[in-house]
Amino acid sequence: MAIVLGPNRYGKAEVRLVRVTRTTASEHELCDLNVSVSLSGDLARTHLVGDNANVVPTDTMRSVVFAFAQDEPLPAIEEFGLRLARHFVGAYRSIDTARVRILEYPWVRIPATNGPHPHAWTRASGARYAGVVHGPTGTEVCAGLEDVTVLKSTGSEFHGFMTDRYTTLRPTDDRILATSVWARWRHRGVAADWDESFAAARDTMLRTFAETHSLALQQTLYAMGEAVLAEQEGLVEVRMVLPNKHHFLVDLSPFGQENEGEVYHAADRPYGVIEGTVLRDSAPAASAELPWG
């Protein structure tokens, strides 16, 4: 029985990059990125016999990321990922496919005496994501967000579920619903107003979470994805992972107190995890190389 080399790739993971744009002597802009690059192509000999003639060192990948960050101004992370991916495929004969993943961490200006401070920030929660693949079969882009924690104190129910002798969960028609949103959406092409599309998708998701009267977190997930696709024709697929951040009503009766939906225990584990994909029925399948996360 023959033994052969299967699919393979390599790259530089988590290049931490902070770009300061000095608009004026005191007015600055800040961009904080985590960039990962992965390459594949004619690389069999490095695995089989240790011949590195076709290998682009991962140190070179890191240097390219830093050098491209000198662009003025730094583009949206989707465009930055496209520029990097196209460079790696175009510049090195042995490389036929490049995958780029970027997380952008948000910073907001610190309030000062005369308004927002021009060059001081505090780190905000959540992150923006972009994933790009560029290769022989074309170019694809997905975008998204993660670690965006949301909560609604009412407007959520959970009942009518299957029960057996192991079931201890009680049905409820009023509960806290909380989750940390991990979401990705796939673009139809590679020409878009990336910033506008991201802001609109994020706002739509959060608004739908708030306004949907939820009978299950699964229902909320579908409603969020459906709303994003309904509002943006340029998107064809939405994937989400929503961990259920459980809040349990505390029994205060041992202390002679009633608890009418006021005091909760926020449990961190174990937790339920809801995953799902919402897509247009006419959407072409995504490339297996597209980095979703």
265 is catalytic: no
Task: For residue 281, give every residue at least 6 positions away whose Cβ sits within 8 Å of its Cβ, in sequence order, or none.
Answer: none
Q: What is the 3-state secondary structure (H, E, C) of 216-274?
A: CHHHHHHHHHHHHHHHCCCEEEEEEEEEECCEEECCCHHHCCCCCCCCEEECCCCCEEE
Pick the catalytic residue from 28, 46, 58, 247. Answer: 58
Does residue 152 have an active-site annotation? no
Among the listed residues 152, 187, 245, 246, the single catalytic one is: 246
Instruction: Please tell me which residue in 12, 87, 152, 245 is annotated as part of the active site.
Output: 12
Q: Are 15 and 35 in contact (CB under 8 A)?
A: yes
Whether 58 is a known active-site residue: answer yes
Comparing C-alpha atoms, which of 79, 73, 46, 58 is closest to residue 14? 58
d(CA 237, CA 285): 9
Looking at the annotation, which residues are catalytic? Answer: 12, 58, 246
